[in-house]
Structure formats: C-alpha cells, structure tokens
Amino acid sequence: MTIRKAVKSDIDSLTDMFSKMYILNSEFDPLLQVPDDIKQRVRDSVEDALNDEKSLIYIYEDGKPYAAIKIKLDEREFYAPSKVARIEEFYVHPAKRREGLGGYFLSFIEEELKKMGVTLIIARFPSKNLIAVSFYSKSGFREIHNEFAKSVD
Amino acid sequence: MDPIEFSKIYEGKIQVFPKVPIKSYDDFAVIYTPGIAKVAEAVHENRDLSFSLTSRWNTIAIITNGSRVLGLGNIGPEAAMPVMEGKALLFKYLGGVDAIPIPIRADNAEDFKRVAMAIEPALGGINLEDTESPLCFEVLEELRKSLEIPVWHDDQLGTASAILAGLINGFKIAGKSTNSAKVVLFGAGAANIAAANLLEIYGFNKSKIIMIDSKGPLYPDREDIDKLMFTNKWKYNLAVSTNKDDSRTINDAFNGADAVIAASTPGPHTIKKEWIAKMADKPIVFALANPIPEIMPDEAYDNGAYIVATGRSDFPNQVNNSLVFPGVFRGVLDSRAKYISYTMAIAASQALAAYAERHGLDRQYIIPRMDEWSMFYEVAAAVADRARVEGYARNPLKYEEYLELARKRIIKTKKNIEVVTSDDN
C-alpha cells in the first residue's frame, strides 16, 4: 500500500478512474451529461496534467491502482488566502470503498499541500451526490459557493 | 374452476369471525361495554397485555403497495388485494395466523414506515409482500429498525430461507462443503440478494459467490457499479464483496460452479444448457422462476446436473417460500418475538432441512413438500426457540413447548376452517 505521484504509465488507469467519475456525475443532473468521447478527453487532460507543474496527480496503489486524485494549483484574485488547490478529479475504486481510504488519501494530500505552502483546498462535485457531500463534510470541508445552472435551450 | 367465477361465488377469501361464544344477552356486557373497559384499563397500565388480553398475539398485517405482484408487475394496491387475500388464507390454513391484507397507496419507504408505525399497536407482526426492488430493501430495513414487532419480507427472506434449506441438503447429498463452494446467483432481485446475505451468514464464502443480473456478472469494475451505489446499495454491496475471481462473463461464472440458484425470468432457456455443462462435478441447479423454470429439469439433468429444484409443485424439490412463512410467523407469534433476525431465518432453513433428512433424503427429495404439515410446527418451534436464545422472545418457553403450541394452534385452526367452510354452512 502506497501513495505516490502518477507517472506516464498510469495514464490508462487514471483515464479509467476519472472517466468513471464523470460518468457517475452525469447521473445526478441532465446538465452534467458527458460527451461520447469522454474517455479520450479525460486521457488528454491527464496527459496535459502530467506535463503541467500546476497540476498534481497522486495514486493509491495496493498491487494495482485503487484510487487517484488530480489537483490543480490555482490563485484566487479577490480572496485570501489566494493560493488554493482545486480537487478536479477524485476516484476510489468500489472494491476499496468504505475502508476509510478516501479520508486517508485526503489527509495525505493535505500534508503535501501544506509543505508547498497551500492552505486552502477546494472540491467541486454535483450537489446531489450525497455521498460526496457527506464525505467532504466529514473531512472538514464546508460549502462556500453555490453553483446554480439554468438551461436556456 | 374459473378463478373469477370462483371469486364471485365466495366474494373474497377471508372474513373476520368471532371466537367467543355468545350464549346470552348478558355476555355482551363482558365482550363489550361496560365490562370491556376493565380490559382497556389493564392494557392502558401495561401495554404488553395487549398481546395476551386481545387477539394481537396472533394478528399480522400483509402490507404491499402492489408494485411487483406475482409476475404482473406494478398493478397497484387494489389489484394486489386478491393476491394478498390468498396469502392471508395460506397464513391461516398453514400457520394458524390471522393475517389482514392491507394493500396501501405508498411509493416510498417513508410512506410505508408511517403506515406501519401507525398500525403497529394492533399487530404481532408484519409481512411485507410483492413490493418492487430496491424499494423493498429500504422498507424492510426501515421497518426492522423502527418497529418492536417482527417484520418479514417474504419475497426476500422467505424465498432465501427455502433456498438455503434446499442447499443444505443438496450439498449434503452431493458431498460438497459449503465454505469452499462456488455458488452462482442468477438474478439479482429481492430473493437472490437476500439469499446471498443469508448464505454468507450461514457459512458460505461470499467471495466465491457470483451474482448475475441482466447485464452479466456483478464485479467491482463493471461500468454501472458507481451508479448502483446510489440506486441500489444492497446490490452494490454485493457487487463489491462477491466474485473475487473477477468473472466477467456468464461462462466464466458457471465454470466450476458447485451450485446455481436462478431466481430470474421465466425460461425454458433463460439458462443455457452449455452453462450447466461447465459446472463442477455433481452440480446443483435451482431454477426457481414461475411458471416456467429458467431451464427445464430434464435439460439440466441431460447436461450433467446432479440435483435440480424448481419453484413448481409438479416437479420434485419445490423450493418455495410457502414452506417457510407459515412456520416463521407461527414461531415469532408464539414466542412474541420483537424481531426476526437473519439467524432466525437460518433456523427455519435448518428445521426444514432436518425434517427432510429425517424423512429420507435423496436427489428427488431435498426439501419437504408443502403437504407435510408437521414440518410447519417444527419450523415454528425452531424459529421461536432461536428468538428466545437471541433475546427477542417476550414469551420464552422451551423448544418442546413451542412445538406443542404450534401443533395445537395449527390443528385447531384447520378444524375451525373445516367447520366454517363446510357445505352445511
């Protein structure tokens, strides 16, 4: 069992895990539908992130990758603290859920970010994903923004 | 006879009938006011007396919203009534239980809970019936938590207990061991999901169980598993805890399997003969769909099946919840149990299995037949005894006493029914 930074050879499993996250998100709202080429898009974004110093990807591995998180380091222009880490994708394999792995992984990330001088973590997920709401609440997160959407189709 | 003509003649199948003789005008003063006020006061002081001073001890409700009635689908509560009346008749005839059919308008667990909690004071138990999955799991879970009377969902636990009973003996005859067995559960509805959990508690190795639904085997990597976490957590839980070999096709799942339990869609070719041929030595095949089993017994035998069971009474080895629920409710009512645990359901399975064993097991007889009436007494006594052991019995007696109580009560009921329904009346 180990948490490590992702490398190029992880692209397949990262694509698989993060695509599953987006496909799950699409269940929560029609405005979160995913395009047919979601896997290719996720793959491209993972490849980009591996070459981007503002992006961090970590993998939890126990024989094979079982969880992954992708984080983007960002600056907030009008708020303090300005340096933030945005969790863009976070996926725990079903076989490893309910064992506290998500929380363990997240606290590892918190420590890594602290070392980098980042003191605020922001996560974004569908409002109706009650399991995510409960997970982040239990991990000490709280709501600071609402994102409302209206289709004008 | 045409069932509609039959129903027209009898105008339903059950009625409420007094059991107290009325011999004189004065009796009314005891049966009803003013005398009955004393009884009301006594119950007011000690609510538990409602079990001994009224008929509560023997009364259950059959609750359904009519969302999954027989193979008819969502036909609604009114249309579910004839089926619930039939079930009430079976409850009475086989188990001596006064079961009141209560089809309700409800489409969520909250509605069920409100109704059940509201009528709990009149009841010694609740049988949930013919309610769609996964709503039925949520309702059962909620009611078991909230009520102080036993709640049972026959399509889950009744069928699962009968399956386990058949498996216990099937494994015995085939000389297989339960804890190393590979078991395929074909169909992932109420019965098989309950069966998976019951088998695990009994001692089957869950990681060697494989559940198959309409999309194939369940495994943690399957595309729709994340969604399942939100839409059917019971099925999800099994998807992530079973099938440790990671079988991804039905062929792989059947390969080397010791038993297949099919509770899915009617056959005769829902299960392919090639799949049976891939199973382990002396394979056990339960094809429980009605009216047509997933694979016909002949075809299963021709492809190597060692023991075959179906849900039908015209074939040997009928695995059916009717073997279970009359005795289970007789047992929980006689012990005044507060709860029905999974281990009490297992006690019912073991009692059934032991009954069949005593009467001479063979490949055509792994489970008692429904007309072996004394089996119901033994199931009742086993369940009641287990309730006592687990601390749920409000009327703790010895096994032999429960057995005698069940026997007496069921025999008396049958005699009463004969009198009331005889042509002279």
Question: Who contacts A150 (Cβ-Cβ below 8 Å, separation ≥6)?
Answer: none
Using a CB-CB cut-off of 8 Å, the residues of chain A touching B239 are 94
* Predicted local distance difference test score (pLDDT) of residue B261: 98
* Structural fold of domain B3-149: Rossmann fold (3.40.50)
Closest to B417 measured CA to CA, from B12, B1, B3, B19: B19
* Predicted local distance difference test score (pLDDT) of residue B1: 86
CB atoms within 10 A of CB B148: 8
Chain B residue closest in CA terms to A131: B230
Round to whole Å and give the CA distance between B246 and B229: 19
Q: What's domain A2-138's architecture?
A: 3-Layer(aba) Sandwich (3.40)
Pairs of residues, one from chain A and one from chain B, whose beta carbons lie less than 8 Å apart? 28
Using a CB-CB cut-off of 8 Å, the residues of chain B touching A130 are 230
* Predicted local distance difference test score (pLDDT) of residue B71: 81
- Residue B121 identity (one-letter amino acid): P
**Alpha carbon of B247: minimum distance to chain A alpha carbons (Å):** 14
Angle, in degrees to the nearest 10, between helices B233-241 and B190-202: 50
CB contact (8 A) between residue A23 and residue B230 = no
* Predicted local distance difference test score (pLDDT) of residue B422: 85
Round to whole Å and give the CA distance between B271 and B262: 8
Q: What is the pLDDT of residues B228-260, one digit of tens each?
A: 999 999 999 999 999 999 999 999 999 999 999
B54: its two tokens: 């009224």
Q: Which of A97, A129, A130 lies at the smallest CB-CB distance from B240?
A: A97
Round to whole Å and give the CA distance between B392 and B385: 10
Chain A residue closest in CA terms to B226: A24
CB contact (8 A) between residue A94 and residue B226 = yes
Cis-peptide, bond into residue A126, ω within 30° of zero: no
Domain spans of chain A, in order of start = 2-138
Round to whole Å and give the CA distance between B308 and B287: 7
Q: Which positions 203-222 of B are in contact with A (Cβ < 8 Å)?
A: 220-221
Q: Where do we find the tokens 């709640």?
A: B151
Strands (E), B204-340: 209-213, 216-217, 259-262, 284-287, 307-310
Q: Which of these CATH numbers, 1.10.540.10, 3.40.50.720, 3.40.640.10, 3.40.50.1110, describes B161-310? A: 3.40.50.720
Residue B225 forms contact with A (CB below 8 Å): yes
* Predicted local distance difference test score (pLDDT) of residue A27: 94
CB contact (8 A) between residue A20 and residue B240 = no
Alpha helices in chain A (DSSP H): 11-25, 38-50, 101-115, 130-138
Q: Which of B226, B236, B240 lies at the smallest CB-CB distance from A20?
A: B226
Chain B residue closest in CA terms to A26: B227
- Residue B43 identity (one-letter amino acid): V
* Predicted local distance difference test score (pLDDT) of residue A116: 94
CB contact (8 A) between residue A93 and residue B220 = yes
Using a CB-CB cut-off of 8 Å, the residues of chain B touching A20 are 223, 226
* Predicted local distance difference test score (pLDDT) of residue A1: 81
Question: Is pLDDT of A54 > 70?
Answer: yes
Q: Which of A23, A95, A131 lies at the smallest CB-CB distance from B229?
A: A131
* Predicted local distance difference test score (pLDDT) of residue B425: 53
Strands (E), B187-297: 209-213, 216-217, 259-262, 284-287
Q: What is the DSSP letter of B141?
A: H
Using a CB-CB cut-off of 8 Å, the residues of chain B touching A97 are 229, 240
Q: What is the DSSP letter of B318?
A: B
What are the catalytic residues of B? 32, 87
Round to whole Å and give the CA distance between B331 and B98: 13
A61: its two tokens: 């591995």
Q: Which of B223, B227, B240 lies at the smallest CB-CB distance from A95?
A: B240
Is there a shared CATH topology between the B3-149 domain and the B161-310 domain? yes
Angle, in degrees to the nearest 10, between helices B325-334 and B76-95: 70
Segment A93-99 shows an average pLDDT of: 89
Using a CB-CB cut-off of 8 Å, the residues of chain B touching A95 are 220, 240
* Predicted local distance difference test score (pLDDT) of residue A98: 85
**Alpha carbon of A27: minimum distance to chain B alpha carbons (Å):** 7
Using a CB-CB cut-off of 8 Å, the residues of chain B touching A21 are 226
Angle, in degrees to the nearest 10, between helices B374-389 and B399-421: 140
Q: Where do we find the tokens 């695509």?
A: A19
The C-alpha torsion from B318 through B323 and B325 to B326, rounded to 10°, is 140
Cα distances from A53 to residues A48, A74, B244, in angstroms, run 10, 11, 39
* Predicted local distance difference test score (pLDDT) of residue B17: 87
Domain spans of chain B, in order of start = 3-149, 161-310, 322-421
Round to whole Å and give the CA distance between A126 and A148: 11
Residue ranges in chain B modelled with pLDDT below 50: none
Question: Rounded to 5, what percent of chain B is helix, strand, coil?
Answer: 50, 10, 35
Cα distances from B76 to residues B82, B121, B153, B255, in angstroms, run 12, 26, 18, 41
Residue B122 forms contact with A (CB below 8 Å): no
* Predicted local distance difference test score (pLDDT) of residue B424: 61
